[in-house]
Chains A and B, each alone.
Chain A
């Protein structure tokens, strides 16, 4: 009979950002370990979590392991039987060791020859005897963004058990009974106050809230339904979605009550996604702050509220920020107003600090802080931020004038480049580092600099996301769209090329300078240049990078281009096909335009035919000595003449497409039509003919075809996987 399995790992507060991932992981790990242990389950495994518990439940786990059929091989047949057919001592010893009668020995054919062997039937053990090992395996297999040692060990021969946070209790029930399990403590730590942890039938409710008895005491449970109910009684909402919905609902209601609404555009999804993982029992309260602080830049107010206090700002009519905040408590307070007053005091202190920094910073114009950058190091081999600012200034000027072809805006771009790092020397950014760039932009605006300059500074750390809708949008950029692109590109190119020159390359998961993100930012701007700036320029990376860079840099950039395109959801094979050319010459925008239409063709029979044969075209075309003169051979066969006519037909059209950068749909469609002609050519024509002139002419035809198609894509990459 199947029975319910319930496991709760009670922990000290797990970081909110880890919780969703760990919850999923626990389910996957348990499923894998149950499978390894041959304990069948029909139902999907359910997982739950709060900051203080990771819970997993399966409604039906088999009572026994499935039986195991095992074939054990022994010595080779040649060593197993004596001349008279009787068993040698080696073979007899094998049977004895395996615990089977000698007549059960079989001959087994293997690729290495014939061996003797026995089939063993192992009856499955009771689930309750196997489940302790399953939990050992689960605890060992869990991985964390950062793990800690806490003087714990398992008796599985592997010693110490690091974990994400200390485990304080284990609830482990199978069919309503406790599965015995123990976490041992290191001998150096163990004493009356550091004790081993034994699995039991107890859970623990909210730290401070309870309907009966003392808060935080042990609560005995019988099964999952009982567990969930008892937790609810003890102020723990186990289901994350329930917590999330309740928070969203209460926030909206409280915001309405205070005459506004949650400023979702300011808050973003981030905090609403995080808060449910910070609390076991969410309750919303609201507070207010003095009107005078509304004179501070909105960004300063919202950053202080959101990033520092996890408070939700609210907006009133016309999206204007209100002097009100909402907070999600992990508490059902007796007097909510007491907590609200305390939170108001903290926020006011922070806002007063912010105003102090703002006023102090604003005593001098932003240019003043460029000089102070001489005391801020960018990198020991690349100098200070002042030196970086000078490089970015010149690079931005050149990109704006010569690459983006807007010399009229070059002075603005250069000015924004010179000023874009200045805010790193301001008190405000030293306090609120997440506002770098934003503060510089605001101060430049206050200094009376034009939109082309201040917004270019404001947004120059963007783009961060690679998605098409990730900020900034062209409407946000306004008149600064082009100067922004110049400064953002200049800053990132300077960082990536400089860091590569300084030997700081990302390796594996290590990328302390965020070079991957910077490089993706460069690619993102090039890919979306028309949407972001209105400029329809097909820029290659080679046009942008003036610095002396090596092969490693280019191969890193090529990976980033492919990464960005794959993140956009394009098939990796198609991505390879359109990024085959030298990375210095590759236009990411052109690649994207090809990828937008390519899926329309990849499934058509003609296109598949072309794709499959194209590899052959490339291989054979290699036989042509590219430096040799055309010896003037003539094509003779109908199939080759037909192919030559196809190439003649395609050439002007493909070349026109490539030079205009538009019409890829038609070009791919027409190219696909060449599929049958190529197939007929390979059916009817022997390329490597004896006649050298004829051979040369045929090779030249294939080379022409190859060159032509490659201008669109290396279609041999697209060959569909064989079913």
Chain B
């Protein structure tokens, strides 16, 4: 099964099981959780079931296209089920069957692995799903987001698409995965990995460390201040997007070695405060709408 078929089959499966199929957030994020379809929809009481692909950028994981398993950008298929149905584990296992993984031929386990994102004031209880020793999915019952207890509880299922494709195609190098139509993952993405890694670590860019740092700090500060203004204006979604941009800018400053240790903590704290404020205001408006 090709990489694109894998995406299509899973989307089809979850569509058939009552999920809206959404599109990726068109802002740089590190994980599907940052998408408002997760981050905001799990807040408040309204039921919501959705699935979408989210290209996820992790500057620190960039390996210049040389590591067979690690990528600057990978793809998550994110499923949110709110409230979480009783049969959620079985639903998930059936989705594996739908892409050709027969559980009777493999060793599939749910191993304890709780998830936490201090920056988003979020945590959950759950497992990593192991398929013959490979972690292919993170399975989480969200407990808190934006520092607030959730009710009802949502279940988040995050498939690591490259890992699953490598498993299905029995290849040892992600760049050898067939993306579709005879083209490999490397054909599609190798150049991007090389260049983005250089950018993330500011290596062979011809840009001085100072210029790199000044530019991104400046962007961070401006974007942060603007996000606060947007929030004051009640524009929660634009404010969230700007908050996520800040988070990504910080990740770049971090991977390029532009921030010192104490400063690092301060950056994380600032993003967290903004994210919490956004979530809080969203919930207040939701409640206002429900009561009004």
Q: Which residues of A approach B to under 8 Å, CB–CB? A: 12-13, 15-17, 51, 146, 148-151, 165-166, 168, 186, 188-189, 191, 193-195, 207-209, 215-216, 278, 309, 311, 327, 329-331, 333-335, 338-339, 342-343, 345-349, 352-353, 356, 375-377, 380, 384
A186–B149 Cα gap in the complex (Å)?
14
* B67, A148: Cβ atoms closer than 8 Å: no
In this assembly, does B182 line the interface, its C-beta being within 8 Å of a C-beta of chain A? no
Q: How many A-B residue pairs have CB under 8 A?
A: 122
* A207, B93: Cβ atoms closer than 8 Å: yes
Contact among A148, A278, A338 for B143, CB-based, below 8 A: A148
User: B98-135 CB contact bits vs A (8 Å, 1 = yes)?
Assistant: 00000111111111101000000000010100011110
Residues of A near B67 (CB, < 8 A) are: 353, 356
Given A151-B83, A166-B141, A349-B69, residue A375 in contact with residue B257 (CB < 8 A): yes
Contact among A191, A311, A352, A356 for B47, CB-based, below 8 A: A191
* B152, A151: Cβ atoms closer than 8 Å: yes
Contact among A12, A309, A331, A348 for B110, CB-based, below 8 A: A12
Give the 5 A-B residue pairs with the shortest CB-CB distance, closest first. Answer: A342-B132, A193-B85, A15-B112, A377-B261, A189-B83
Contact among B134, B151, B265 for A151, CB-based, below 8 A: B151
Residues of B near A335 (CB, < 8 A) are: 105
In this assembly, does B185 line the interface, its C-beta being within 8 Å of a C-beta of chain A? no
Task: Report B193 CB to chain A, min CB distance, Å.
Answer: 16
User: Taking each of B107, B111, B127, B172, which has the highest tally of chain A beta carbons within 10 Å of its own beta carbon?
Assistant: B107
* A194, B85: Cβ atoms closer than 8 Å: yes
Name A279's closest neighbour in chain B (CB-CB). B109
In this assembly, does B204 line the interface, its C-beta being within 8 Å of a C-beta of chain A? no
* B153, A346: Cβ atoms closer than 8 Å: no
* A188, B83: Cβ atoms closer than 8 Å: yes
Contact among A186, A330, A376, A380 for B151, CB-based, below 8 A: A186
Name B87's closest neighbour in chain A (CB-CB). A193
Residues of B near A216 (CB, < 8 A) are: 90
Contact among B68, B107, B143, B261 for A349, CB-based, below 8 A: B68
A188–B44 Cα gap in the complex (Å)?
10
Residues of A near B83 (CB, < 8 A) are: 151, 188-189, 191, 194
| Apart from the given pairs A193-B87, A333-B107, A346-B134, 19 other A-B contacts in the complex at a CB distance below 8 Å | A13-B110, A16-B112, A17-B112, A148-B125, A149-B149, A150-B84, A151-B153, A168-B86, A188-B152, A193-B85, A207-B93, A215-B104, A331-B106, A331-B107, A333-B106, A342-B134, A342-B167, A377-B262, A377-B265
A191–B85 Cα gap in the complex (Å)?
9
Residues of A near B111 (CB, < 8 A) are: 13, 16, 278
Residues of B near A349 (CB, < 8 A) are: 68-69, 172
Task: Report B136 CB to chain A, min CB distance, Å.
Answer: 11
Name A384's closest neighbour in chain B (CB-CB). B261
In this assembly, does B89 line the interface, its C-beta being within 8 Å of a C-beta of chain A? yes
User: Taking each of B93, B125, B149, which has the highest tally of chain A beta carbons within 10 Å of its own beta carbon?
Assistant: B125
A278–B93 Cα gap in the complex (Å)?
18
In this assembly, does B292 line the interface, its C-beta being within 8 Å of a C-beta of chain A? no
* B105, A334: Cβ atoms closer than 8 Å: yes
A148–B47 Cα gap in the complex (Å)?
20
Given A188-B151, A331-B107, A339-B106, residue A146 in contact with residue B125 (CB < 8 A): yes
Name A195's closest neighbour in chain B (CB-CB). B86
* A165, B105: Cβ atoms closer than 8 Å: no
Given A165-B125, A188-B152, A380-B262, residue A346 in contact with residue B132 (CB < 8 A): yes
Residues of A near B107 (CB, < 8 A) are: 329-331, 333, 339
* A193, B86: Cβ atoms closer than 8 Å: yes
In this assembly, does B233 line the interface, its C-beta being within 8 Å of a C-beta of chain A? no
Residues of A near B141 (CB, < 8 A) are: 148, 150, 166
